[in-house]
């Protein structure tokens, strides 16, 4: 929609109108314009810094516009197949902090990747590659699990985790996965209950041809929440038995980016439920509803 500047200017003068009918009509029109009106709305706050009613109403409108825009972008990401994992987790973080920059986040991932690349060579075995990656992520860049405030929402937002170097299982696995993929390692997410791990996937025989994931096998698993510890299927069996969780094939097999981000959203909902932040829970459930299939009840 094209912005009608004179009409917008007129609308801005009516935001603090005491007549709720007038304000509701103004609000609906501003929401209809969407993000193209945000700059003028924020400027209007600066010009009326002592008008509390105007500031309160304008901030609420801006927040609703930005939320709707982010949710729509997220819907498009899902519909398009979720090929870019970083974009998916970025949009989840943008829901929380609208002005975060995609390029800045990407460059922070790239910095970790470059540090690892300098220590990689083509003669390394898969386990040696993981040893290098573990050293870079956990020893050099100091990423660790946040056990003190485990359920904090900040443990799930990619920008916060990159800044704080602390996260929950899914967020640490996402960072590890994105760095590994940029290095060309055959890593995939595995939707394990009460954790989130990665699989190192190889071909049974090197044919020299590109093969589908179905024609490959999991050589071993990696637990980013435990400093990149290498796991076998037997250890996952034991973990599920300890947790009294019935085994499903999906707890051992690679999942797609949509499932990874869906798990991230579900965990965030759980975090805000524990904080009794019902507004955040309601808003994030709109993100969860975008996905066609529900996940098993395996938060955290």
40 within 8 A of 13, measured Cβ to Cβ: no
* Model pLDDT, residue 205: 56
- Residues 75, 96, single domain; the answer is no
Contact 247, 240 (CB under 8 A): yes
Domain count for the chain: 2
Per-residue pLDDT of the chain (300 residues), as tens digits, is 667 788 888 989 899 999 999 999 999 999 999 999 899 899 988 888 889 999 999 999 999 999 999 999 999 999 999 999 999 999 999 999 999 999 999 999 999 999 999 999 999 999 999 999 999 999 999 999 998 999 999 999 999 999 999 999 999 999 999 999 999 999 999 999 999 999 999 876 555 545 566 667 999 999 999 999 999 999 999 999 999 999 999 999 999 999 999 999 999 999 999 999 999 999 999 999 999 888 876 655
DSSP 80-109: TT---HHHHHHHHHHHH-TT--HHHHHHHH
Q: Write out the two tokens for 168.
A: 């929950």
Residues 9 and 99 in one domain: no
Out of 17, 49, 79, pick the residue that ends a domain. Answer: 79
Q: Are residues 147 and 246 in the same domain?
A: yes
Is residue 124 included in any domain, yes or no? Answer: yes
154, two tokens: 């900040």
Four-CA torsion 129, 135, 140, 142, nearest 10 degrees? 120
Same structural domain, 222 and 139: yes
Residue 198 belongs to some domain of the structure: yes
Residues spanned by the domain of 70:
5-79
> Do 71 and 97 lie in a common domain?
no
Torsion-angle region of 34 (φ positive above 0: left; ψ -120 to 50: alpha; else: beta): left
Half-sphere exposure for 169 (CA within 13 Å, toward CB): 20
Enumerate residues 6+ apart whose C-beta is below 8 A from 85: 174, 177, 178, 181, 257, 260, 261
Residue 281, judged by CB atoms within 10 A of its CB (0-12, 13-18, 19+), counts as: middle
In a domain, 296, yes or no: no
Cβ atoms within 10 Å of 274's Cβ, excluding its own: 13
Query: Which residue, 45, 79, 113, sits at the end of a domain?
Result: 79
Residue 215: what pLDDT? Answer: 62
Q: Identify the helix (H) or strand (E) that includes residue 218.
A: strand 216-223
Q: Which residues contact 33 (CB under 8 A, 6 or more apart)?
A: 1, 3, 8
Give the three-state DSSP class for 144: strand
Say yes or no: 95 and 145 in one domain. Answer: yes
Same domain for 107 and 70: no
Instruction: Looking at the structure, tell me whether residues 70 and 89 fall in a common domain.
Output: no
Same domain, 111 and 73: no
Domain shared by 269 and 183, yes or no:
yes
Closest CA to 165 of 149, 195, 142, 184: 142
In a domain, 295, yes or no: no
Q: Which SS3 state, helix, strand or coil, does residue 34 take?
A: helix
Q: How confident is the model at residue 210, as a pLDDT? A: 54
Instruction: State residue 260's pLDDT score.
Output: 97
| pTM of the model as a whole | 0.91
CA distance 203 to 207: 8
| Domain membership flag for residue 149 | yes
Same domain, 97 and 9: no
Q: Does 89 lie in the same domain as 67?
A: no
What is residue 125's three-state secondary structure? Answer: coil
């Amino acid at each position: 929609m094209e912005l009608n500047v004179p009409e917008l200017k007129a609308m801005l003068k009516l935001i603090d109108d005491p007549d709720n009918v007038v304000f509701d009509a103004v609000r609906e029109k501003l929401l209809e314009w969407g993000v193209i009106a945000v700059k003028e709305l924020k400027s209007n706050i600066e010009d009326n810094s002592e008008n509390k009613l105007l500031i309160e109403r304008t901030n609420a409108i801006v927040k609703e516009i930005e939320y709707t825009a982010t949710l729509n972008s997220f819907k498009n990401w899902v519909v398009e197949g979720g090929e870019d994992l970083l974009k998916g987790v970025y949009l989840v973080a943008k829901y929380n902090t609208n002005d975060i920059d995609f390029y800045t986040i990407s460059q922070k991932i790239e910095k970790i990747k470059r540090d690892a690349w300098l220590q990689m060579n083509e003669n390394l075995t898969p386990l040696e590659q993981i040893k290098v990656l573990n050293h870079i992520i956990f020893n050099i860049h100091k990423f660790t699990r946040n056990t003190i405030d485990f359920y904090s929402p900040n443990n799930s937002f990619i920008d916060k985790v990159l800044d704080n170097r602390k996260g929950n299982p899914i967020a640490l696995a996402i960072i590890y996965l994105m760095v590994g993929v940029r290095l060309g390692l055959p890593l995939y997410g595995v939707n394990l209950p009460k954790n989130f791990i990665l699989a190192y996937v190889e071909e049974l025989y090197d044919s020299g041809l590109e093969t589908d994931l179905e024609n490959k096998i999991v050589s071993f698993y990696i637990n980013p929440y435990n400093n990149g510890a290498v796991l076998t299927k037997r250890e996952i069996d034991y973990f599920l038995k300890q947790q009294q969780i019935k085994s499903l094939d999906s707890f051992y097999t690679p999942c797609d980016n949509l499932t990874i981000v869906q798990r991230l959203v579900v965990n965030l909902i759980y975090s805000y439920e524990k904080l009794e932040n019902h507004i955040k829970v309601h808003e994030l459930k709109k993100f969860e509803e975008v996905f066609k299939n529900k996940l098993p009840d395996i938060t955290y």
